[in-house]
Amino acid sequence: MIKNDLFLKALKGETVERPPVWMMRQAGRYLPDFMKLKEKYDFFTRCRTPELATEITVMPINQIGPDAAILFSDILVIPQAMNIEVEMKPGLGPWLPNPVRTTQDVQKVIVPDVHETLGYVMDAIKMTKKELNDEVPLIGFAGSPWTILCYAVQGQGSKNFDIAKKFCFTNPAAAHTLLQKITDTTIAYLKAKVAAGVDAVQIFDSWGGMLSPTDYQIFSWYYIQQIIDALKEETHVIAFGKGCWFALDTMAKSGASALGVDWTCSPLHARYLSGGKITLQGNFDPSRLYSPPAEIKKMVHQMIDEFGKDRYIVNLGHGILPDIPVENARAFVDAVKEYKPR
């Protein structure tokens, strides 16, 4: 039994004394101890070494105090396991030297045995679960197939993922073959994560909002729904689509336990679009953590009032920014713990 079960209660839609809180990218560069480890080990070494992944995952739990931990890893370990080379370049971010651009390239992409290629993630989960000692739940995650395709085809981050979109719209057959391969790998991967001990999984569709509502259904949601169908009996699934407010009605009918929303959609609007019953997660503007702690607290209390304390998980609308002062991140979490329903 997990001692702090607020997060799991919110996922089940149960009444809580206050909503749970965690932050996307909470195990990251705004923490001085993380930066010390970053000096010594490169990014994928940190992901592949269970001792390091465990240490980084637990850091924010001890230093900031959120109600859930998220495993330190990256969505790009999936393309790596599928035979697509991925590097993390300092200052640039993800860099894929041989992007997938043709039908032949797609044929070379494999659906791997995830226990073999990604066994280090399962080892990290088992070690982290021990270290957490059932204090808080552990979240596992994967990128959405569309978001993974964006990197696999574009070869790096982008403002508009123009090359990825061109590939989908000029060679849809190859795009769908690639998306299905990523989906099959992701399902096996998330099932292995659940077997290794994670208490919930989140699907990050960070670039879903790049698509029109119609193309979103065809190139992104169709595959996310397959993942939810395959996982929903085994665990709680949270679907987060950045910029995907237009799809909240579809997402609410998917069998997901919760939906993530970004800060461009008001709490009232998000509740309305998602039908008012499903648990929502979000949606503080990550840049608002630059405000003084007193102002952060006031805004967090207002956000909880607007979402309502039940069927709600307090989070940012996207990942925490690297230069946020630690005390401001702590003010965000403390504000939730100090919340009193009005």
Annotated binding site for substrate: 25-29, 44, 74, 151, 206, 318
**258: which strand partners?**
238, 279
Contact footprint for ligand CP3 (CB under 6 A): 24-29, 38, 43, 70, 72-76, 88, 93-94, 141, 143, 157, 204, 206, 318-319
Helix 145-154 × helix 222-231 angle, to 10° = 130
Q: What is the DSSP string of 225-269?
A: HHHHHHHTTTSEEEEEETT-GGGHHHHHTTT-SEEE--TTS-HHH
Instruction: Give 88 or 163: the residue with its C-beta nearer to ligand CP3.
Output: 88
Binding-site residues, please? 25-29, 44, 74, 151, 206, 318
- Tell me the closest approach of the beta carbon of residue 179 to ligand CP3, in angstroms: 17
3-state secondary structure of 95: strand
Question: What order of strands is seen across the sheet that includes strand 138-143?
Answer: 69-70, 138-143, 200-205, 236-241, 258-260, 279-284, 312-316
Instruction: Give 157 or 293: the residue with its C-beta nearer to ligand CP3.
Output: 157
Instruction: Give 65 or 157: the residue with its C-beta nearer to ligand CP3.
Output: 157
- Tell me the closest approach of the beta carbon of residue 17 to ligand CP3, in angstroms: 26
Instruction: Give 92 or 294: the residue with its C-beta nearer to ligand CP3.
Output: 92
Instruction: Give 309 or 318: the residue with its C-beta nearer to ligand CP3.
Output: 318
Indicate the DSSP class of residue 51. H
Distance (Å, rounded) from C-alpha 266 to C-alpha 272? Answer: 10
Report how far apart, in Å, the C-alpha atoms of 59 and of each of 25, 31, 137, 229, 308 are.
12, 8, 14, 33, 29
**238: which strand partners?**
202, 258
Instruction: Give 174 or 329: the residue with its C-beta nearer to ligand CP3.
Output: 329
- Tell me the closest approach of the beta carbon of residue 72 to ligand CP3, in angstroms: 5
Distance (Å, rounded) from C-alpha 238 to C-alpha 116? Answer: 26
Report how far apart, in Å, the C-alpha atoms of 97 and of each of 84, 103, 199 are.
9, 18, 35
- Tell me the closest approach of the beta carbon of residue 176 to ligand CP3, in angstroms: 22
Instruction: Give 72 or 307: the residue with its C-beta nearer to ligand CP3.
Output: 72
Contact 263, 285 (CB under 8 A): yes
Contact 79, 151 (CB under 8 A): yes
- Tell me the closest approach of the beta carbon of residue 92 to ligand CP3, in angstroms: 8
- Tell me the closest approach of the beta carbon of residue 125 to ligand CP3, in angstroms: 13
- Tell me the closest approach of the beta carbon of residue 157 to ligand CP3, in angstroms: 5
Q: 69: Cβ–Cβ under 8 A, 6 or more apart, which residues?
A: 22, 27, 57, 58, 60, 61, 128, 132, 136, 137, 138, 139
